[in-house]
Structure 1
């Protein structure tokens, strides 16, 4: 892919992908706002800002930003402790300022030092919790009926245990729509269907949503007992005037700027939102089929601008969100225009077609998210990690257990702790210095890896590869290396995959574990 092309160069890919992301983002925006104790419209504002503002300034081709489920508890506590949503917005604004400063000071490199086993564990853990949290909606049971609020990634185990009561409390109409929707999504994902032009123009989730609306209207006509009423469908505000639209915005209370609790909340939101963004950003890069590397400092700057705008007009804080990013990549997005387009769709949806969107059964959306969760935590991922050895599998599985049992940050911390122990044990015996030199031929650059190359070297290697001018012949020499970490192998493989777009020819010497051509 030519990086010089305009973001408008791939509209045939990005417009359908943006629509898919919109369909995934809409219930998340509303659900996270509800779970956060904030006005529902604040979730829509955050989705719009995350798509348009953050999307425009971001350097990522695939990442999608929006209100973060991982911040729900923090937001709820901050609103409660600060006493009003207006004061909370002041904290959101200054959290954005903090993130902008982090971007300017180039603090984004900390994202390079998270091993891939932990990132993959984060994805799988999120997928598992996403599946758990969608089960009530798949059965037609939601917060208005007795089970938990729709709060992905937040570990409400009392609600999880209540899932056993689904045999007593469910909607047959919802179950039927969920099953048919999942069948459609599975069929739509088959290679024989993907080859058809129709399937590329009409994404599976769109078919599922239209199917769900159609089936539910059919229920209303011929099987009223199966019909899903308002409480089992999407609910958006229906505006009657422009003044009513303006009334939905809330503005910060800057009179509390000297309140220490505001600054504590701002710092907490800024740090955790930045960490979640950097992890999600690298995770999105890993699933990008073109293996492009997103600039983390620019992403922090973009996220900061987005949160400053959210604080000024009444939106929840945003981060890069891997669920939406996964849906974006899976739908075939080629540039960041898909994220921007999904932001415009969110904005237009509340203005133009709220009544139509309010016909969408939550069961249809649950089916879409169940499939997203499965793709993040499929069995083949566990088998792949296990085949790489304990130094990859143990951090992976510990991260998953920590996220599922406790929460996102604790899980990441536990996984990182295990990964660091393995690295320290290895580094007692070997050096992990990286040296590079230019060969006699001016068009050839040779990078010689050291005796021990761990994920701690990943950032330096990425920087060295990014700085190589286009059109060069690159030799990566691993003949002196006793151990090359799996993360480093992935960096080399990603560089090799993307090299043709930069007219770079890559050869490797004695580097095993990646699919490369050249010297071995």
Structure 2
């Protein structure tokens, strides 16, 4: 176990957690309720878009809340079905022909994630550049705002929580908005505007000084007012009543037995189908990457700046996907939208994520008639606030002040995610970030010291403590620009590691330098490595 993992494991062991969990229930319970209100339509919408049974998304959300939150080391991340996996699920079900065969792929993906956790693959999460992570948060906030506006106006027929630029109905993010402004439902807009004003007013710092306003979440008040107002429209102003397609649509399971009957087991006969294994590997890799990105982002916006043990997170997600697949649920990841809503609502510990899981399960059994009357425009108002807090103008300004090397990867990530999807956008942002890293290593010989020199005098190149392959280009650039007829000492006395590629380049230069009458001396370069390199 690495020193980092040892620190994290100690920090997030179960004994130290027990007291803070109960200590912060006054914050975590209301926050869990807000996350539940946001997660419910997201789970249903992702199920519909994936071509899976409607209950599959709820199952994944419940497992994410009740199982993953307990096993995870993250205090604030919330797990459930992710919009980023929608296309993979849709195509995967078609490829393996039945949903039960797809369940088997999810089970196998969970096992693979568990293995990745034990292999300590979670360390990958520590290598995402900060500019790219901040760009991801800003892009998700911006996308949330753009995607929720049609729901806010009552004119969006796509699933709630859809985040990709190109939509299933043939429109894109911007053409959908243009369509929505031409087909506004007045009742939904009135409810949306009132909900947004209530949330903004309720969260005013002056009101938060009073215990009632601090404990009762603004999202709950907005939803209750929206329910009452839509009921008033139905009785008195039918023309303003929000249409059924713009309300929450939770399947009704009024008894435990009906719920159990909706669960399904994987089709074990599909173990003979090679496509199941390919799909399992795809789900495991994509879900793991999205999870690592999400927990890294959550740690950055955590007010307490806690650090999630990433290997433990992969194991928790693996167990979660295994159970979800066994019960008939969708694959899951740590999800930044729900996690951001959790932080925005004042969540302090994993008790909030667990609470949201309990409420999801409870809602399926007892609350579907009530919840199915909630207008989506009220929930859109909640996500508009979450989105704005993720993509505040000050974030762009602060990144710009850090310089082009930080701003360009950040801005490219924002634009790429906005016009594609999360994983494609992140990949483009990472490519730009790596380019700037390589460019900096090529141009800046920061790892060793050179002195101004005249032709004929001795030049000493002091290598730094760690010299990696990224430094190769910079070293070669400096060596090849040395004047002819000089004497050069390459000093490795302060180096604890010199990459093979760098040694090979130095040795090659030493041989070729004779043609320019440059005498090269190697000092404290490890003999065994220099011999191998030679």
Alignment of 1:66 onto 2:80: yes
Q: Distance in 2 between matches of 1:453 and 1:168?
A: 60
Alignment of 1:152 onto 2:157: no
CA contact (8 A) 1:109 1:296 kept: yes
Match of residue 315 from structure 1: 329
DSSP-derived class of the 1:191 partner: coil
CA contact (8 A) 1:234 1:362 kept: yes
Alignment of 1:251 onto 2:251: no
Which one of the candidate residues 41, 49, 74 is aligned to 1:27? 41
Match of residue 195 from structure 2: 181
Map of 1:120-269 to 2, 5 A cutoff?
Answer: 120-143=134-157, 148-156=158-166, 158-160=171-173, 161-269=175-283
CA contact (8 A) 1:427 1:452 kept: no
1:183–1:154: structure 2 CA closer, same or farther, 3 Å change rule? same
Alignment of 1:42 onto 2:56: yes
Q: Distance in 2 between matches of 1:322 and 1:452?
A: 35
CA contact (8 A) 1:64 1:325 kept: yes
Instruction: Determine which structure has more spread, i.e. the larger CA radius of gyration.
Output: 2
Which one of the candidate residues 291, 296, 299 is aligned to 1:282? 296
Alignment of 1:427 onto 2:441: yes
Deviation at 1:215, TM superposition (A): 1.0
CA contact (8 A) 2:255 2:365 kept: no
Deviation at 1:240, TM superposition (A): 4.1
CA contact (8 A) 1:129 1:152 kept: no
Match of residue 32 from structure 2: 18
Deviation at 1:359, TM superposition (A): 1.5
Q: Which moved more, 1:130-139 or 1:317-326?
A: 130-139
Match of residue 371 from structure 1: 385
Match of residue 300 from structure 1: 314
Q: Distance in 2 between matches of 1:52 and 1:453?
A: 46
Q: Distance in 2 between matches of 1:250 and 1:154?
A: 29
Match of residue 345 from structure 1: 359
Q: Which moved more, 1:17-26 or 1:296-305?
A: 17-26
How many residue pairs align between the two structures? 435
CA contact (8 A) 1:284 1:326 kept: yes
The CA deviation string for residues 249-305 of structure 1, in whole angstroms up to 9 with x for no partner, is 122111111311101110011001000000100100111111110100000000000
Q: Distance in 1 between matches of 2:243 and 2:435?
A: 53
| TM-score (norm. length: structure 2) | 0.78
| TM-score (norm. length: structure 1) | 0.80
Match of residue 504 from structure 2: none
Map of 1:75-154 to 2, 5 A cutoff?
Answer: 75-143=89-157, 148-154=158-164
DSSP-derived class of the 2:213 partner: helix
1:452–1:427: structure 2 CA closer, same or farther, 3 Å change rule? farther
Match of residue 405 from structure 2: 391
Q: Distance in 2 between matches of 1:271 and 1:367?
A: 33
DSSP-derived class of the 1:65 partner: strand
Deviation at 1:159, TM superposition (A): 4.1
Q: Which moved more, 1:422-431 or 1:410-419?
A: 422-431
Deviation at 1:373, TM superposition (A): 1.4
1:123–1:432: structure 2 CA closer, same or farther, 3 Å change rule? farther
CA contact (8 A) 1:430 1:452 kept: no
DSSP-derived class of the 1:353 partner: helix
Q: Distance in 1 between matches of 2:27 and 2:110?
A: 31
Alignment of 1:273 onto 2:287: yes
Q: Distance in 2 between matches of 1:181 and 1:52?
A: 29
Deviation at 1:432, TM superposition (A): 6.5
Consecutive unaligned residues of structure 2, counting only runs of 5 or more, are 1-10, 449-463, 471-493, 495-534
Q: Which moved more, 1:362-371 or 1:224-233?
A: 224-233
The Cα RMSD (Å) is 2.1
The CA deviation string for residues 183-209 of structure 1, in whole angstroms up to 9 with x for no partner, is 112222322122221221111111111
The CA deviation string for residues 393-426 of structure 1, in whole angstroms up to 9 with x for no partner, is 1001111111111221121111111111111222
Q: Distance in 1 between matches of 2:340 and 2:298?
A: 7
Match of residue 509 from structure 1: none
Q: Distance in 1 between matches of 2:467 and 2:308?
A: 23
Q: Distance in 1 between matches of 2:420 and 2:347?
A: 33
Q: Distance in 1 between matches of 2:347 and 2:196?
A: 22
CA contact (8 A) 1:130 1:152 kept: no
Q: Which moved more, 1:95-104 or 1:373-382?
A: 373-382
DSSP-derived class of the 2:333 partner: strand
Consecutive unaligned residues of structure 1, counting only runs of 5 or more, are 434-449, 457-479, 481-520
The CA deviation string for residues 120-163 of structure 1, in whole angstroms up to 9 with x for no partner, is 111111222222221221111232xxxx3435222226243143
CA contact (8 A) 1:184 1:208 kept: yes
Map of 1:458-469 to 2, 5 A cutoff?
Answer: none
Q: Distance in 2 between matches of 1:403 and 1:317?
A: 22
Q: Which moved more, 1:101-110 or 1:160-169?
A: 160-169
